[in-house]
C-alpha cells in the first residue's frame, strides 16, 4: 500500500510538471515595444538624431526592465514635441521602428546613479530606463515649470 502512495505522488508531480511545461509561453521581448508602437508609432523621423546608439531598457510597471534583444540599440531625440525613439533592430513587418511620445506622456520616476527611469503613458503603462545625457535631458523636459 505504501508503494502505491509513493507512485501516486510521483505521478502527480510528473503531471504537474508536464502541464506547466506545455502551458508555459515565454514572454515576447518585443511586447512592450509593440504596445508603444500601437499608441505612438509614426512613419516620420525626427529632423535630427540627438542621441544615437543608446541602450534603452523597457518593461512593464511591475515587471523588470530589460533590453529588447542582446544587441538592441536606439536612436533618441528629445525636442519641443517630446521624446522620439527609433529601434535599430529586427522587427515584425507590420511594426513601426519609430515612435514619438508627446512630452506630456512622459513622467520622470527616479534616478539611480547614471540611470534615469521614466513612465510612458500607454495601456498598460510602460517603464523605460535610459542613461547619461539622454536621461538628464529628458528629465529636465519632464519637470513641471515652476510659476
pLDDT value at residue 65: 83
Alpha helices in 1-147 (DSSP H): 2-23, 31-40, 132-142
Cα 124 to Cα 57, 90, 100, 104, 120: the distances in Å are 17, 24, 17, 16, 9
Residue linked to cell 511594426: 95
Query: What percentage of residues in the chain have a pLDDT greater than 70?
Result: 84
Q: What is the pLDDT of residues 74-121, one digit of tens each?
A: 999 998 888 999 988 777 777 788 999 998 899 999 998 899 999 998
- Asked if 130 and 120 count as a contact pair (C-beta separation under 8 A), the reply is no
115-120 and 51-54 beta bridge pairing: unpaired
Q: What is the pLDDT of residues 49-77, one digit of tens each?
A: 999 999 999 887 666 788 887 778 899 99
Q: Quick one: which of 116, 108, 117, 87 has its CA closest to 99?
A: 87
Can you name the CATH fold of 31-142?
PH-domain like (2.30.29)
Report CA dihedral (111, 85, 62, 20) to the nearest 10 degrees: -140
User: 21 falls in which pLDDT band (50, 70, 90)?
Assistant: low
Amino acid at each position: 500500500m505504501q508503494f502505491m502512495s509513493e507512485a501516486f505522488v510521483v505521478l502527480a508531480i510528473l503531471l504537474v510538471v508536464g502541464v506547466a511545461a506545455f502551458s508555459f509561453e515565454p514572454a515576447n521581448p518585443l511586447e512592450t515595444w509593440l504596445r508603444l508602437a500601437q499608441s505612438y508609432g509614426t512613419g516620420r523621423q525626427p529632423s535630427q538624431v540627438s542621441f544615437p546608439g543608446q541602450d534603452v531598457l523597457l518593461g512593464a510597471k511591475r515587471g523588470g526592465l530589460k533590453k529588447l534583444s542582446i544587441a538592441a540599440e536606439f536612436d533618441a531625440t528629445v525636442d519641443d514635441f517630446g521624446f522620439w525613439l527609433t529601434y535599430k533592430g529586427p522587427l515584425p513587418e507590420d511594426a513601426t521602428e519609430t515612435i514619438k511620445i508627446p512630452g506630456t506622456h512622459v513622467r520622470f520616476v527616479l534616478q539611480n546613479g547614471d540611470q534615469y527611469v521614466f513612465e510612458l503613458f500607454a495601456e498598460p503603462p510602460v517603464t523605460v530606463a535610459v542613461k547619461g545625457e539622454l536621461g538628464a535631458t529628458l528629465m529636465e523636459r519632464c519637470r513641471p515649470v515652476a510659476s
